[in-house]
Amino acid sequence: MTWEEMERTMAFIVEQQAQINVTIDRLSVKVDRNAETATALLAIAEIHDRQMKETDERLNALINTVERHISEGRNGKA
């Protein structure tokens, strides 16, 4: 391999490495953004879960009240 060929090969390698570094930087930004999005989605899911539990509790209280009124009506207490 001549000196010129070696210089061209080294220049090519350096250019490829620079392109790889740019690609890695872009991917790193995207990974960070995805991590932030995942964290936000988890927070939303936790809020949703808490609201669903509260709704279940309220529905159970309503069901119990209605069942109690129906039961009292059947027993002649209405």
The pTM of the full predicted model, rounded to 2 decimals, is 0.62
Rg (CA), the chain: 33
- State what percent of residues in the chain have pLDDT above 90: 90
pLDDT confidence band for 77 (50 / 70 / 90):
low
Q: Quick check: helix, strand or coil at residue 20? A: helix
Which residue matches tokens 């991590």?
35
Q: How far apart are CA 5 and CA 7, in angstroms?
A: 5
Residue 28 reports pLDDT greater than 90: yes
Q: How far apart are CA 72 and CA 78, in angstroms?
A: 6
H-type helices in the chain, by residue range?
Answer: 3-74
Residue 66 reports pLDDT greater than 70: yes
Q: How far apart are CA 23 and CA 42, in angstroms?
A: 28
Residue 78 reports pLDDT greater than 60: no
Residue 10 reports pLDDT greater than 90: yes
